[in-house]
């Protein structure tokens, strides 16, 4: 095993009772771009088939691509539901969150083996060998996270065991692809995010969600029809108004009618179901056929006697809710109450937040502990002071974001959400916060390591491929060894409570090419002994190792 020489020079040391940590560039500089419109290489043929008015209410006559978002094609329709396995391939471009506008929660590695094989066969027919997927690395040393909307936004991507991974071939390989081999199997590959590649999007979800609509109303999971709310409800005595009739003017609206029927609690089992305008001056009543899925149409001008009626209404009259006049748009504001050490989130207009589960908050919060892991802190809904159950605070909600970790230096926190009707990303400012601290002093230091290039680990991996905890382990081992060898400095080393390597700042090769010099940013937390604040009571060892600027130690790896 090669030898590793540790040369640590504390270049900068600043002590402060409330030191603000440096936010790693891999997080602070990450810009979340909106999903810009891009042409699809796949073709959705939902509207290519003529609108067959004779079979308008027979689901078997509706093109299967109507089960998919615009731009996606259906690989396989589920005969027992309204779902289908849909694939959308976007034209080549640098990595972006291109699948978000479909509202999908599925990516390539969520599919079973049969579904993956069907997707690979489609890519082969399209002469595609590599595509972006909805996963990327946000932190320099972190794993892949999911980039699909909902509660799993930025959640760690769980990859199957034994997955074949292509080796890194470029600088900053932070974005993920699926790459086909000559044997038509798939590899997970990492690429620089600026590489131009097509994007693979998948969809196998139910179309109807509650979102911003009222009770027993639904809109589409994907963006194209989210400005509207649809429902099928008991007819009662009031027929739909002129602007509320569910107009069947396209094949997709035919499909949405059956999606509504599947989603409806009141009318799913009704024998006398639909009242909908099909064309000007003509109204279709439809009876549910016994033992079949089709609805038998009856042309009439009067809907009296029907159990259930279908409706639609325009809920959002603009293409986007952002930007809007002050106080009118959805918003999130994060604030750290230093007096009580509480992190508070104020949410406005959460009705317009995209969410799959109506009971979900519609946003996700994050904390950056280091360059390896995003933490998702718990969030607790708060009641306004003096609030009674009858008070109306529908447009404003308060939450407490629970602080994570120990009582160390402040961490950056922020929250993100997607909005209807176009999945615009709403993101708070980043706020530094920490738990109420016991007495601590914090130091920021620059440390340099000297790594022998002949060492087996260094030959196999350059310094920027090492994980921060690997460097942290070397520095901690060094401190332990120094404490053993220099008992007179035991009190000084004992004052160190924690030490974290926060970032690899730079590295370079020596003139003779035998060594790497690696510069690290390190945070050190020490005990806050009051007697240390008085210089005359601080015991001074004969050899002040802490005050030295150069430490030399040899490890065997």
Helix (H) or strand (E) holding 373: none
Nearest-angstrom CA–CA distance, 401 and 334: 9
pLDDT tens across 137-173, in order?
Answer: 998 778 899 999 999 999 999 888 778 888 666 677 8
Q: What residues contact 3, with CB distance under 8 A and at least 6 apart?
A: 452, 455, 554, 555, 556, 557
pLDDT above 80 (res 90): yes
Q: Are 379 and 412 in contact (CB under 8 A)?
A: no
Same-domain check for residues 222 and 140: no
- Give the residue-averaged pLDDT of 209-236: 88
Same domain? 78 vs 178: yes
Last residue of a domain, one of 375, 409, 433: 433
* CATH classification at residue 99: 3.10.100.10
Given 203, 229, 254, which residue is the final one in a domain? Answer: 203
CA distances from 368 to 212, 355, 362 (A): 31, 24, 21
What pLDDT digit, counting tens, does each position of 277-323 carry?
655 555 566 655 555 666 666 665 555 666 777 888 888 887 767 65
Range among 13-17, 151-155, 163-167, 482-486 with highest mean pLDDT value: 151-155
- Which is nearest to 276 in space by CA: 313, 240, 307? 240
| 38 found inside a domain | no
Residue 419 pLDDT exceeds 90: yes
Q: Is 300 helix (H, G, I), strand (E, B) or coil?
A: strand
Is residue 165 domain-resident?
yes
What are the two backbone dihedrals, phi and then psi, of residue 30, each rounded to the nearest 5 degrees?
A: -80, 115
Residues 160 and 93 placed together within one structural domain of the fold: yes
Query: Any residues with CB less than 8 A from the CB of 346 and at least 6 apart, and which?
Result: 332, 333, 335, 396, 397, 398, 399
Query: Are residues 363 and 415 both part of a single domain?
Result: yes
Place of tokens 């969030």: 379
Cβ burial, residue 209 (10 Å; 0-12/13-18/19+): buried
More confident residue, 540 or 168: 168
Say which range, 251-265, 296-310, 372-386, 473-487, has the weakest mean pLDDT: 296-310
**Residues 264, 208 contacting (CB under 8 angstroms):** no
Mean pLDDT for 175-204 is: 92
pLDDT for residue 128:
95
Question: Is residue 544 predicted with pLDDT exceeding 50?
Answer: no
Structural domains counted in the chain: 4
Residues 303, 243 within the same domain? yes
Q: How high is the mean pLDDT of the chain?
A: 77
Residue 175 lies in a domain: yes
Largest CA distance in the chain: 103
For 374-407, give the DSSP string. EE---EEEEPPTT--TT---TTEEEEEEPP-SSS
Degrees (nearest 5) of the Cα angle 159, 161, 163?
75
369 pLDDT tier (thresholds 50, 70, 90): confident
Q: Same domain, yes or no, for 183 and 238?
A: no
Say whether 26 sits in a helix, a strand or coil: helix
What pLDDT, on the 0 to 100 scale, is given for residue 460? 58
Lowest mean pLDDT among 18-22, 233-237, 550-554: 18-22
515, 452 Cβ separation under 8 angstroms: yes
Query: Do 299 and 357 fall into the same domain?
Result: no
In-domain check, residue 546? no
Q: Is residue 25 part of a domain?
A: no
pLDDT above 60: residue 552: no
pTM over 0.95: no
CA distance linking residue 439 with residue 429, whole number of Å: 29
Residue 248 sits in the same domain as residue 368: no
How much is the pLDDT for 33?
Answer: 36
User: Are 424 and 446 within one domain?
Assistant: no
70 vs 214: CA distance, rounded Å: 25
Check which CATH number belongs to the domain holding 357 and give it.
2.60.40
Domain termination residue (choose one: 168, 203, 238) = 203
540 occurs within a structural domain:
no
Judged against a pLDDT cut of 50, whether residue 6 lies above it is answered with no
Residue 364 burial (10 A CB sphere; 0-12, 13-18, 19+): buried
> Is the residue at 51 inside a domain?
no
pLDDT value of position 386: 55
In terms of domains, do 157 and 121 share one? yes
161/223 same-domain check? no
DSSP summary character for residue 156: B
Mean pLDDT score, 91-101: 95
Residues 64 and 151 in one domain: yes
Q: Is residue 35 part of a domain?
A: no
Alpha-carbon distances of 103 from 43, 76, 89, 349, 424, rounded to whole Å: 18, 19, 15, 20, 12
What pLDDT is recorded for position 223?
A: 93
Q: What percent of the chain lies above the pLDDT cut of 90?
A: 36
Domain hosting residue 474, numbered range: 440-534
User: Taking 80 as the threshold, does the pLDDT of residue 543 lie above it?
Assistant: no
């Amino acid at each position: 095993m090669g030898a590793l020489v540790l040369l640590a020079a504390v270049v900068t040391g600043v002590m402060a009772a409330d030191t603000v940590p440096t936010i790693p560039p891999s997080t602070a500089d990450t810009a979340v771009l909106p999903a810009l419109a891009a042409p699809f290489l796949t073709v959705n043929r939902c509207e290519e088939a003529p609108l067959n008015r004779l079979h308008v209410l027979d689901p078997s006559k509706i093109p299967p691509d109507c089960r998919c978002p615009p731009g996606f094609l259906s690989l396989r329709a589920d005969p027992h539901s309204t779902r289908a396995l849909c694939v959308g391939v976007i034209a080549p471009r640098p990595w972006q969150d291109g699948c978000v506008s479909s509202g999908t929660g599925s990516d390539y590695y969520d599919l079973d083996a049969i579904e993956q094989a069907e997707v690979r066969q489609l890519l082969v027919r399209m002469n595609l060998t590599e595509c972006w997927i909805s996963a990327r690395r946000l932190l320099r040393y972190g794993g892949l996270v999911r980039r699909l909307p909902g509660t799993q936004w930025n959640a760690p991507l769980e990859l199957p065991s034994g997955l074949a991974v292509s080796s890194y071939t470029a600088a900053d390989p932070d974005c993920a692809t699926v790459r086909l081999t000559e044997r038509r199997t798939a590899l997970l590959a990492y690429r620089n995010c600026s590489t131009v590649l097509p994007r693979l999007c998948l969809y196998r979800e139910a179309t109807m969600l509650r979102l911003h609509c009222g009770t027993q109303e639904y809109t589409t999971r994907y963006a194209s029809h989210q400005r509207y709310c649809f429902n099928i409800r008991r007819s009662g005595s009031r027929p739909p108004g002129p602007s509320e009739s569910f107009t069947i003017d396209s094949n997709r609206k035919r499909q949405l009618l059956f999606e509504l029927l599947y989603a409806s609690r009141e009318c799913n089992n009704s024998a006398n179901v639909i009242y909908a305008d099909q064309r000007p001056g003509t109204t279709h009543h439809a009876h549910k056929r016994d033992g079949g899925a089709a609805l038998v149409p009856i042309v009439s001008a009067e809907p009296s006697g029907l159990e259930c009626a279908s409706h639609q209404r325009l809920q959002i009259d603009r293409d986007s809710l952002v930007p809007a006049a002050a106080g009118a748009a959805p918003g999130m504001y994060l604030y750290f109450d230093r007096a009580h050490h509480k992190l508070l989130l104020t949410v406005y207009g959460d009705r317009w937040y995209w969410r799959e589960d109506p009971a979900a908050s519609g946003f996700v919060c994050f904390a950056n502990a280091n360059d390896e892991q995003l933490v998702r802190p718990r969030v607790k809904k708060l009641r306004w002071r003096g609030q009674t159950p009858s008070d109306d605070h529908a447009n404003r909600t308060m939450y407490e974001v629970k602080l994570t970790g120990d009582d160390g230096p402040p961490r950056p926190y922020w929250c993100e959400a997607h909005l209807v009707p176009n999945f615009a990303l709403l993101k708070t400012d980043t706020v530094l916060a920490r738990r109420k601290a016991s007495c601590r002093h914090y130091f920021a230091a620059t440390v340099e390591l000297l790594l022998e290039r002949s060492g087996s680990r260094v030959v196999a991996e350059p310094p920027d491929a090492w994980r921060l905890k690997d460097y942290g382990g070397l520095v901690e081992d060094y401190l332990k060894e120094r404490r053993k060898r220099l008992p007179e400095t035991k009190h000084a080393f004992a004052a160190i409570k924690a030490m974290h390597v926060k970032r690899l700042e730079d590295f370079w090769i020596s003139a003779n090419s035998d060594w790497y010099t690696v510069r690290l940013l390190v945070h050190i937390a020490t005990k806050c002994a009051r007697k240390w604040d008085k210089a005359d009571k601080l015991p001074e060892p004969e050899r002040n190792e802490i005050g030295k600027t150069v430490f030399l130690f040899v490890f065997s790896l």
